[in-house]
Amino acid sequence: MMRAAVLGSPISHSLSPLLHNTAYSILGITGEYSAIDVPSANFADFLSHALGERWRGFNLTMPLKESVFDTALVHCDEASARIRSANTLIREGSGFAATSTDLTAFARLLSEDEVERVAIIGGGGTARAAIGALADRIKSIDLLLRTPSRIDAIARIAPGVEVAVKAMDSSLNSYDLVINTTPAGVADHFAQNLDRVDGLYFESLYNPWPTELSFAWKELGGQTLHGVDLLVEQALDAIALMTEKTFDYSDMRNTLLAVAISSLDSQRA
C-alpha cells in the first residue's frame, strides 16, 4: 500500500488528504494520504525516521517549504533550489528528491494572462514560487513585505526583473496582477483603500474564503482566483509524481475542485 502525507504546523485544516485520497480512488490505487503535524524544529528527525518506513512521499506546507533546505536528507531540483522553496518530496534511494509543484501550478494558472504591472504581497516560499513562474514574462515586480530583508533572496530568483519593495499600506490600484501569499488577516486592510481594479487578484488562501480583500476586489468587478485553485493545481503534479500514473489533468482538476469546494461549503454551513 502506498503511503504519503502532507506535513506542516498547523495542519488540521488541510484539504490535501481529501484531494489525494480522492485521486487514489479514481486511479485505482491502494493507498493512504494523511496529514501530520510536524513543526520546523522536528522536521529533520521526522524525515530520518520516515526513511525506515514505507513512505512514498510528502507534501509540505508552511513553515516546511523553507526548512527543507536545512536537512541533508533532501536533494532539491534546480527549480526549487532557485526559488528556495520546495513543497513536494519523493522517496529516492537513501533520501528524498524535492521539487516545487507550487511553481508549476502558478505557471499553468497564469499562462494565459497578459501582465505587466505585478504586485506580490508577502515574501515566503509561496511568493517565491509565484515569482519564479513569472520571471521570464515580466520586467518588474512590486513586493509588499513585512520583512524587507527578504528582498535579497527574492532578487536572486529573477535577476532580469526589476524588484521594488513597497510598504504594506501601499495602493493596489492599477495592477494587472496582485498575488497575496500572506496568512489569514494580514492583507485585509488593503480592502479599505481599494477603489478600482484593473486585473486579476490571486489569493493563495482557501480558508477563510472569501477574504475581505478578495471580496472587495470582486465587488469592484475584478477577476479572482483563490487558494483552492492553487491547492488543486499543485496537487495534480504531486499526485502524478507520487503515483507515477498518467491521467487527464482537466478531468482530475474538475473533480478535485468540486470535492474541495463542497468540503469548504459544508464547513461554512
**CATH architecture of the region 104-225:** 3-Layer(aba) Sandwich (3.40)
- The three three-digit cell numbers of residue 56, written as one number: 512514498
* φ, ψ of residue 175 in degrees (nearest 5): -85, 145
Secondary structure letter of residue 52 according to DSSP: T
Residue by residue, DSSP assigns 230-253 as: HHHHHHHHHHHHHH-----HHHHH
Does domain 2-99+229-268 sit in CATH 3.40.50.10860? yes
- The answer for residues whose C-beta is within 8 angstroms of residue 94's C-beta and 6 or more apart is 51
Residue 115: predicted pLDDT: 87
Which parts of the chain fold into alpha helices (H)? 16-27, 43-50, 64-67, 78-83, 101-109, 125-134, 151-157, 212-219, 227-243, 249-268
Residue 258 burial (CB count, 10 A): 12
- The three three-digit cell numbers of residue 251, written as one number: 478531468
Cβ atoms of 31 and 3 within 8 Å: the answer is: yes
Residue 16: predicted pLDDT: 97
Distances (CA, A) of 226 to 69, 176, 248: 28, 16, 22
Q: Which of 73, 121, 124, 69 is nearest to 102 (CA)?
A: 124
- The answer for residues whose C-beta is within 8 angstroms of residue 103's C-beta and 6 or more apart is 79, 80, 83, 85, 129, 132, 133
Distances (CA, A) of 234 to 50, 104, 240: 23, 7, 10
In the chain, CATH 3.40.50.720 sits at 104-225
Q: Residues 137-181: pLDDT tens digits?
A: 999 999 998 876 667 777 788 888 998 999 898 999 889 999 999
Q: How confident is the prediction along the chain (269 residues), in pLDDT tens digits per residue?
A: 999 999 999 998 899 999 999 999 999 999 999 999 999 999 999 999 999 999 999 999 988 999 999 999 999 999 999 999 999 999 999 999 999 999 999 999 999 878 889 999 998 889 999 999 999 899 999 999 887 666 777 778 888 899 899 989 899 988 999 999 998 899 999 998 898 898 999 999 888 878 999 999 999 999 999 899 999 999 999 999 999 999 999 999 999 999 999 999 888 76
Torsion-angle region of 161 (φ positive above 0: left; ψ -120 to 50: alpha; else: beta): beta
pTM: 0.93
In the chain, CATH 3.40.50.10860 sits at 2-99+229-268
- The answer for residues whose C-beta is within 8 angstroms of residue 196's C-beta and 6 or more apart is 173, 174, 220
Q: Which residue has the cell 488528504?
A: 17
Residue 269: predicted pLDDT: 61
